[in-house]
Structure formats: structure tokens, C-alpha cells
């Protein structure tokens, strides 16, 4: 015999009778669950979901994801457009076209990752991968051909590239950048070897972790490239001695640097790529709260921080973060200090001149300061994610202000134009 009673709290029945069978009750609008069950009706979070009358589970709003394995769980999506709203009960996930996986953080076949967004592969997108290969070869050739000690204004290029690399990292800050500015930052990220710009997934199957490892180990691949180029150069030089001078403006003029320019070029590239290397590995620790106590990687929302998959990569990330943000700058300092008496010799200049040539004689260790301040900026952006956005931006402003004061006070570069360029870029960065 059924017992008539009032519907439980936050539930009603169809004819709104005061006393009905409990099985006839259902959750009212704004609540979900089983009205006659042990947990009763639960309040719907109006920001992330909607709950029409008689909802068994909350329905996600646009920008939020409902976990198919735990339908009570609604999490914020990154980016918001990766998750679609639902107005009726459904099975599976609510990912937008092109997105799949946990928190809709992966791209389906026929799409490639562009930051956290998935973009459809268009005709010709696959051809960008060979362009990447050619670009890498061109970079090796360019740095090798420029691997001659010089006091000229060519260092302005390095200053510009370094500034562009740092600015492109601003996309990791949780700020609502205007679309044109965000797109400009993405273009700038080319200098940080942003593989997403080359639609790699449209040509080959490659995972986030594969790209993570390739970028982290890129110095090894570039070192191999320089070594192979040196061996080929040396081999052909034995056949025709004039090939030794192939980098000279006048092939008939002996090139005294042809054997050392590859080491010089590699060191120059390594210093230029310091921002890329440090930011690549520290982004691993940049986690964002998605809701319900769950943190996900800002660079790959499909991976939960502090869970098994993420934990497995901690040793790799810690080792390379230490190498690129601390060990490498310290090693450069120790090296320059140890050979301080030889820094003006032809032997040192021909091999490691890129570390000291841009700077005035009394400030030969300024490159170490540059690397440490880049590391500080990167660590604030990627590691201090648990503090407020305002505090992170405030800390960045302090760092940029200190760098600006030191730049004005020391004017470390030999060339006046380089000092003016660095001053201008620091002012622009502070303005962002």
C-alpha cells in the first residue's frame, strides 16, 4: 500500500497536490536528482548548468563540460568554445565539433591543436610540416653562416627575438586579451618553436607529450644538425679546399673561422633559444582550477594535474626545468668567470664570443643576468598559478620595472642602438 505524504524538500508532483505518493514527486526547476531517493534533490549551479523540472542530472551551459562517467560533475572548459550547451538529457559528452576527450581537451581526426583550440585541417595544412623541417635546417644554416665574432649591430636581431619570445608567453596569463592581440601573441610564439602553427597533426599523428619532449630536447637535435653540417663541410673541404671559404663573401679569401663557426653558431642559438627551452618545461607546472577541486594543465586541459598521467612526467619536467632555468645560466657564469682572463683572446671569441660580444667590457656577464631575468618572468607566469591574477601581473610589473631601471643605469650594450632597442621593448612590455 502506497503512503501519501508531502513531496520532499525542493520537489513537486505534476498536479502540485499536498499529499501524494512519493514516487510521483520530481525535482523542481533549479534542482536535479531523485526526489524520492536517499540524497533527494540537489541545487543546480546556475553559472555552469541548467536544471529544468524533473532533471535527473544537471545540463551543462556553454563553456562547461559534464563528465560522462560522473554526470553530477560539471567542470569549466579551456577554451570555453570547446564545450557546447545542452538543453535536454543526453549520453556521452558535450564537446563541440573537433574536440574530444577529458574536458574536451583533445582534437579529433581532421583537426589540429592551435594553443588549446582545435582548428580544422584545410587543404594545404599538411604541407606546413615539411615547411617546419626546412625552417629548422635554415635556422642551423643561418646561425652557422653568422658564426663569426662581431661587434656589429647584428645583435639587435637577438634582442628583438628574445623580446618577442617573452611577449608570446603572455597568452599563459588568465587575461581576456582582445582577439587581435591574442592572435599577434600566437604569431610571436613562432619564435618559441610553437609546433601548433605548423598543423603538425594534419600530416602525422603526434601527441601532446611527443611535442613536449621534442621541444625540451631540441638542443640535442640542433647540436646534431650543426655537427652533421660541420662533417659535411669538412668532407667536401678535403675534396676542394676552396669549400672551406664557402661562408666568406669572397670565396678566394681564407676563412679563419670555418672550423669554429659551428660551435659559435650553436652557442648563439642556444642562448637565443633559452626562453623557448625554459618556458616549454615550466609550462608543465602551469595548472588551472577547472572546478570541483580539479586542476588541469593550462597547455593541455585533457590532463589532470597531480594525477597518474601528470605525475609520471614530474621527474622529466623537474630535471629539465632545473637545467634550463637555473643550471644553464649558472654554468655560463662559471664558464665566463673561469676564462675571464681569456675572454679577449681569439680562441675564446671564435667559439664563445656570442656570450660576451654584445656587451661592454666591464659587463661581460650581462648575458647571465638576461637569462636569469627571463627565468624569473617565466617562473612567475608558469609556477605561481595558485596566487591571484592581479598579484602575478603585479610581480611581473615589478620585475620589468627593475630590469628597466638597470637598463637605464648600466646601458650594458656596446652599441647605442641596442641599448635604445632594449629600452623601447621594456617599455612596451610594461605597457602590455
- pLDDT value, residue 196: 67
Look at residues 115, 120, 117 and name the one whose alpha carbon lies nearest to residue 211: 115
Q: Is residue 109 part of a domain?
A: no
State whether 83 and 226 are in the same domain: no
Read off the pLDDT of each residue in 75-94 and give the average, rounded to a whole number: 90
Which residue matches cell numbers 513537486? Answer: 12
Look at residues 269, 284, 274, 270 and name the one whose alpha carbon lies nearest to residue 324: 274
User: Where does the pLDDT of residue 128 fall: very low under 50, low under 70, confident under 90, or very high at 90 and above?
Assistant: low
State whether 99 and 167 are in the same domain: no
Q: What tens digit of pLDDT does each residue of 24-80 get?
A: 788 888 889 887 778 888 888 888 999 998 888 999 999 999 999 999 999 999 888
Q: Which of 168-172, 285-289, 327-331, 413-417 bottoms out in mean pLDDT, i.e. has the lowest? A: 168-172
The answer to whether residues 7 and 13 touch, using CB atoms and an 8 Å cutoff, is yes
| Rounded Cα–Cα distance for residues 258 and 246 (Å) | 9
- pLDDT value, residue 292: 82
State whether 191 and 241 are in the same domain: yes
Read off the pLDDT of each residue in 241-253 and give the average, rounded to a whole number: 55
The answer to whether residues 112 and 199 touch, using CB atoms and an 8 Å cutoff, is yes
The yes-or-no verdict on residue 153 having pLDDT over 80 is no
Q: Which of 104, 138, 164 is the last residue of a domain?
A: 104
State whether 278 and 404 are in the same domain: yes
Distances in Å between the Cα of 68 and the Cα atoms of 71, 79, 100, 288 are 6, 19, 12, 21
What total number of domains does the chain contain?
Answer: 3
| Rounded Cα–Cα distance for residues 110 and 402 (Å) | 47
Q: Which of 119-128, 224-233, 261-270, 319-328 bottoms out in mean pLDDT, i.e. has the lowest? A: 119-128
Q: Can you give the pTM of this predicted structure? A: 0.79
Read off the pLDDT of each residue in 100-120 and give the average, rounded to a whole number: 87
- pLDDT value, residue 3: 58
- pLDDT value, residue 190: 63
Retrieve residue 178's grid coordinates.
582582445
State whether 288 and 158 are in the same domain: yes
CB-side exposure of 193: number of CA atoms within 13 Å?
24
State whether 94 and 204 are in the same domain: no
| Rounded Cα–Cα distance for residues 421 and 399 (Å) | 18
- pLDDT value, residue 273: 83
| Rounded Cα–Cα distance for residues 412 and 362 (Å) | 9
Q: What tens digit of pLDDT does each residue of 135-148 get?
A: 778 887 777 777 66
Q: Is residue 118 part of a domain?
A: no
- pLDDT value, residue 195: 65
The yes-or-no verdict on residue 164 having pLDDT over 60 is yes
Q: Taking the CA atoms of the chain, what radius of gyration do you get in angstroms?
A: 28
State whether 139 and 64 are in the same domain: no
Q: What tens digit of pLDDT does each residue of 169-224 get?
A: 777 666 666 666 666 666 666 666 666 666 777 777 788 898 899 889 988 888 88
State whether 318 and 369 are in the same domain: yes
Look at residues 315, 314, 313, 310 and name the one whose alpha carbon lies nearest to residue 298: 310
Q: Is residue 117 part of a domain?
A: no
- pLDDT value, residue 432: 58
Q: Is residue 268 part of a domain?
A: yes
The yes-or-no verdict on residue 1 having pLDDT over 50 is no
State whether 145 and 81 are in the same domain: no
State whether 218 and 292 are in the same domain: yes
DSSP bridge pairs for 31: 43
State whether 88 and 130 are in the same domain: no
Retrieve residue 206's grid coordinates.
603526434
Look at residues 299, 320, 337 and name the one whose alpha carbon lies nearest to residue 375: 320
Q: Is residue 352 part of a domain?
A: yes
Alpha-carbon 346 to chain mean position: 39
The yes-or-no verdict on residue 378 having pLDDT over 70 is yes
Domain span including residue 248: 125-431
The yes-or-no verdict on residue 100 having pLDDT over 80 is yes
Top pLDDT among 423 and 13 is at 423
Q: Is residue 116 part of a domain?
A: no
Residues 6 or more apart whose CB falls under 8 angstroms from that of 316 comprise 213, 216
Q: Is residue 110 part of a domain?
A: no
State whether 212 and 270 are in the same domain: yes
Distances in Å between the Cα of 418 and the Cα atoms of 142, 228, 235, 366 are 21, 33, 39, 14
- pLDDT value, residue 242: 62
Mean pLDDT of the chain: 81
Q: What number of other Cβ atoms are within 10 A of residue 152's Cβ? A: 9
Distances in Å between the Cα of 400 and the Cα atoms of 71, 115, 195, 432 are 46, 26, 28, 11
- pLDDT value, residue 387: 72
Q: Is residue 390 part of a domain?
A: yes
| Rounded Cα–Cα distance for residues 85 and 100 (Å) | 15
| Rounded Cα–Cα distance for residues 5 and 242 (Å) | 102
DSSP bridge pairs for 296: 288, 304
User: Where does the pLDDT of residue 249 fall: very low under 50, low under 70, confident under 90, or very high at 90 and above?
Assistant: very low
Amino acid at each position: 500500500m502506497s503512503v501519501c505524504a508531502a513531496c520532499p524538500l525542493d520537489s513537486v508532483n505534476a498536479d502540485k497536490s499536498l499529499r501524494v505518493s512519493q514516487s510521483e514527486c520530481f525535482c523542481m526547476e533549479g534542482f536535479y536528482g531523485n526526489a524520492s531517493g536517499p540524497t533527494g534533490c540537489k541545487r543546480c549551479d546556475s553559472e555552469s548548468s541548467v536544471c529544468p523540472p524533473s532533471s535527473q542530472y544537471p545540463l551543462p551551459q556553454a563553456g562547461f563540460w559534464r563528465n560522462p562517467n560522473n554526470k553530477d560533475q560539471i567542470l569549466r572548459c579551456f577554451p570555453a568554445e570547446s564545450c557546447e550547451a545542452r538543453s535536454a538529457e543526453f549520453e556521452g559528452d558535450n564537446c563541440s565539433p573537433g574536440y574530444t576527450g577529458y574536458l574536451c581537451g583533445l582534437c579529433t581526426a581532421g583537426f589540429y591543436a592551435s594553443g588549446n583550440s582545435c582548428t580544422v585541417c584545410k587543404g594545404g595544412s599538411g604541407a606546413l610540416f615539411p615547411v617546419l623541417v626546412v625552417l629548422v635546417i635554415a635556422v642551423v644554416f643561418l646561425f652557422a653562416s653568422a658564426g663569426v665574432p662581431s661587434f656589429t649591430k647584428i645583435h639587435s636581431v637577438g634582442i628583438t627575438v628574445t623580446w618577442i619570445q617573452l611577449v608570446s608567453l603572455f597568452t599563459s596569463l588568465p587575461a581576456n586579451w582582445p582577439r587581435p592581440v591574442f592572435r599577434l601573441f600566437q604569431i610571436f610564439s613562432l619564435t618559441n618553436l610553437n609546433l601548433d602553427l605548423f598543423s603538425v597533426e594534419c600530416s602525422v599523428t603526434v601527441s601532446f607529450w611527443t611535442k613536449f619532449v621534442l621541444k625540451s630536447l631540441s638542443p640535442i637535435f640542433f647540436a646534431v644538425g650543426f655537427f652533421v653540417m660541420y662533417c659535411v663541410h669538412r668532407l667536401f673541404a678535403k675534396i676542394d679546399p676552396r669549400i672551406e671559404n664557402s661562408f666568406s663573401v669572397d670565396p678566394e679569401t681564407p676563412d679563419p673561422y670555418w672550423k669554429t663557426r659551428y660551435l659559435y653558431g650553436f652557442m648563439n642559438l642556444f642562448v637565443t633559444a633559452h626562453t623557448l627551452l625554459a618556458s616549454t618545461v615550466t609550462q608543465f607546472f602551469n595548472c588551472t582550477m577547472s572546478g570541483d577541486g580539479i586542476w588541469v594543465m593550462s597547455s593541455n586541459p585533457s590532463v589532470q594535474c597531480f594525477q597518474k598521467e601528470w605525475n609520471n612526467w614530474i621527474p622529466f619536467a623537474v630535471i629539465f626545468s632545473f637545467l634550463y632555468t637555473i643550471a644553464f645560466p649558472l654554468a655560463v657564469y662559471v664558464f665566463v668567470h673561469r676564462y675571464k682572463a681569456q675572454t679577449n683572446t681569439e680562441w675564446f671569441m671564435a667559439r664563445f664570443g656570442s656570450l660576451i660580444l654584445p656587451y661592454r667590457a666591464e659587463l661581460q656577464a650581462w648575458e647571465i643576468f638576461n637569462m636569469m631575468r627571463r627565468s624569473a618572468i617565466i617562473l612567475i607566469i608558469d609556477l605561481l598559478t595558485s596566487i591571484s591574477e592581479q598579484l602575478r601581473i603585479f610581480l611581473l610589473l615589478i620585475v620589468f620595472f627593475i630590469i628597466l631601471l638597470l637598463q637605464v643605469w648600466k646601458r650594458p650594450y656596446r652599441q647605442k642602438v641596442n641599448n635604445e632597442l632594449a629600452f623601447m621593448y621594456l617599455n612596451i612590455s610594461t605597457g602590455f
